[in-house]
């Protein structure tokens, strides 16, 4: 079979990173006499619940595919960098706070409502968040969040003439659909459709009767999606790997879909009833290629190259299985005669622990924050994660980045059990710096965005950039684009949405990045916060989309 029919999956070829038989990768934990399996495989927190000890519950370890002797027993996984830091009890206490949240970023986000017309009518029920105060329209925090972060009906149409590189649709939380031009130039060929960490359930939990619940309903259902070619999972936490969502995708796209997962996660999919040949398990730096015509590959043949790349995070679903499966980010490279387009999906990751509860710098309260950015020194006491610079150096700077900008849902879910106003709530808040090593806050997301794209438009000598057909040249006529993910979905209060929006805008202002709510268009800045504000051509753009909203970066 030389060419695909519309109902065939894309052809797959996997390249596993060679490994020495006697040396395990630094993120692998192998069972030894000095390191029994019943000890926890990594120091640190798997999640908010991993303040408690954890251990591998599978005697004998896990058998993971490698490129040499067939299989290798792995007890678990760990973050191998000094940037993975476990806070002390004193540091945790120091980062807690009680009372009203007076972060100026909340007011910064809400200040843009002065330019928005106020309607007396609430959004229809299926398109409004489930905040307790949302009906106090329009002045409550929940109402302000509903006005700033809306639910739109997704448009999944794809026109390669208007979307020459990609079309991106945010589906809530970390779920993103990326559509790329078809690999087969034949008329009527379908675009490549890649789905990242989808979750369409109302709860991210083992049960739909309890657990963290979405404030914003999904903008559509799985059955509304077009046929999916590839689903990428970053790790197995419930807000990134949802059973009902995966089974619905398998049912609706059974003829075309492939699943790409980090090591140790393949068994879960197969046990759910998904065909083994459709699940590809990969280690960090393993790569794969999707194409429509096998045997005809060349540097100019249209293909989608895939890399499983590192992330600083954790895994676990039942409390006792912490870090027994791998976590990752994903890097895609769409190659064609017209050029190369690179996409980086960070999944769920941290970047740098920050010891000061006053980090990051906040906008001056009650003053105009619309001012030129200034150099702000970052916390240097604890090192940042080196993985993102390594990904850039190995594979090239991405054109499109999907970056998390908020913590997970668990902590705020537990806090919601105390239904008291903040000024008398005994359940404290915590600063973003204490969890920044496992969940990137907006300030660090902007730093990572700039770090990974600083080579775009420059000539470099980088022989390791295997994602480039012309190593050493990463040119792009358009600025790089980042899309905010992992926010504004499993929130419990409107202030969480306002705070994230304000913190992201402030971080962009202070670090020389253009903050937008959509891509600027030639005639008017329909999606930016300030009318008439236009980014310079070379300035990177960080976008916070509405649920279901699409953009087509160039």
Domains of the chain: 163-366+375-458+477-519+537-551 (3.60.15.10)
- φ, ψ of residue 459 to 5 degrees: the values are -95, 125
| Tokens standing for residue 509 | 């202002």
Q: Residue 306 pairs with which residues in a beta bridge?
A: 288, 332
Strands 167-170 and 176-180, sheet pairing: antiparallel
Residues 209 and 221: their CA atoms lie apart, in Å, by 19
Q: What is the pLDDT of residue 477?
A: 64
Residues 35 and 538: their CA atoms lie apart, in Å, by 51
Q: What is the pLDDT of residue 52?
A: 30
Q: What is the pLDDT of residue 534?
A: 54
**Which residue from 180, 278, 175 is spatially nearest to 234, judged by alpha carbons?**
175
Say if CB 29 and CB 78 are below 8 A apart: yes
Residues 144 and 186: their CA atoms lie apart, in Å, by 48
Say if CB 283 and CB 15 are below 8 A apart: no
Q: What is the pLDDT of residue 336?
A: 77
E-assigned strand segments in 346-461:
400-404, 429-430, 458-459
Say if CB 282 and CB 263 are below 8 A apart: yes
Chain position carrying tokens 């678990």? 76
* pLDDT < 70: residue spans in the chain: 1-7, 19-22, 32-72, 120, 185-188, 295-300, 366-380, 457-477, 521-537
Residues 147 and 129: their CA atoms lie apart, in Å, by 10
Task: State the DSSP string of 344-367.
Answer: EE--S--------TTPSP-PPTTS
Q: What is the pLDDT of residue 537?
A: 60
Looking at residue 546, the DSSP 8-state letter turns out to be P
């Amino acid at each position: 079979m030389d060419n695909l029919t519309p109902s065939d999956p894309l052809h797959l070829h996997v390249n596993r990173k060679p490994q020495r038989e006697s040396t395990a990768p630094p993120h692998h934990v192998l069972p030894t006499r000095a390191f029994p399996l019943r000890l926890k495989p990594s120091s640190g927190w798997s999640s908010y619940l991993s303040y408690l000890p954890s251990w591998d519950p599978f005697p004998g370890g896990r058998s993971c595919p490698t490129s040499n002797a067939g299989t290798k027993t792995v007890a678990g996984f760990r973050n191998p960098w000094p940037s993975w830091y476990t806070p002390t009890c004193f540091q945790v206490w120091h980062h807690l706070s009680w009372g009203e949240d007076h972060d100026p970023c909340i007011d910064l986000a809400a200040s843009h409502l002065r330019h928005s017309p106020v309607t007396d009518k609430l959004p229809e029920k299926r398109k409004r968040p489930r905040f307790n105060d949302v009906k106090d329209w329009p002045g409550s925090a929940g109402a302000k969040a509903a006005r700033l972060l809306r639910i739109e009906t997704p448009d999944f149409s794809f026109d390669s003439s208007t979307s020459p590189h990609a079309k991106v649709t945010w589906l809530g939380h970390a779920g993103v659909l990326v559509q790329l031009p078809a690999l087969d130039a034949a008329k009527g060929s379908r675009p490549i459709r890649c789905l990242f960490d989808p979750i369409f359930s109302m709860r991210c939990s083992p049960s739909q009767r309890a657990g963290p619940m979405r404030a914003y309903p999904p903008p559509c259902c799985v059955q509304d999606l077009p046929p999916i070619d590839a689903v990428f999972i970053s790790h197995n936490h419930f807000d990134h790997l949802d059973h009902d969502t995966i089974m619905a995708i398998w049912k609706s796209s059974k003829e075309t879909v492939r699943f790409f997962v980090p090591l140790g996660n393949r068994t879960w999919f197969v046990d759910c009833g998904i065909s083994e040949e459709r699940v590809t398990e990969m280690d960090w730096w393993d790569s794969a290629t999707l194409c429509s015509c096998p045997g005809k590959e060349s540097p100019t043949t249209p293909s989608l190259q895939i890399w499983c790349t590192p992330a600083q995070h954790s895994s676990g679903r039942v409390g006792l299985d912490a870090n027994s499966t791998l976590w990752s980010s994903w890097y895609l490279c769409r190659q064609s005669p017209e050029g190369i387009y690179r996409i980086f999906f960070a999944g769920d990751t941290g970047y740098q622990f920050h010891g000061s509860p006053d980090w990051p710098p906040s906008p001056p309260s009650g003053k105009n924050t619309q001012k030129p950015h200034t150099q702000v020194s970052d916390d240097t006491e604890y090192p940042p994660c080196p993985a993102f610079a390594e990904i850039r150096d190995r594979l090239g700077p991405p054109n499109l980045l999907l970056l998390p900008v908020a913590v997970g849902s668990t902590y705020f879910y537990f806090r919601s059990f105390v239904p008291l106003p903040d000024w008398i709530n005994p359940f404290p808040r915590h600063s973003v710096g204490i969890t920044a090593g496992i969940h990137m806050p907006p300030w660090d997301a902007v730093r990572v965005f700039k770090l990974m794209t600083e080579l775009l438009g420059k000539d470099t000598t980088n022989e390791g950039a295997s994602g480039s057909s012309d190593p050493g040249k990463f040119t792009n006529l358009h600025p790089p684009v980042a899309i905010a993910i992992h926010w504004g979905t499993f929130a419990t209060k409107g202030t969480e949405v306002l705070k994230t929006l304000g913190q992201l805008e402030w971080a962009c202002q202070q670090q020389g990045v253009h903050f937008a709510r959509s891509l600027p268009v030639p005639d008017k800045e329909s999606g930016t916060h300030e009318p008439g504000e236009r980014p310079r051509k070379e300035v990177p753009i960080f976008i916070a989309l509405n649920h279901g909203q699409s953009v087509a970066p160039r």
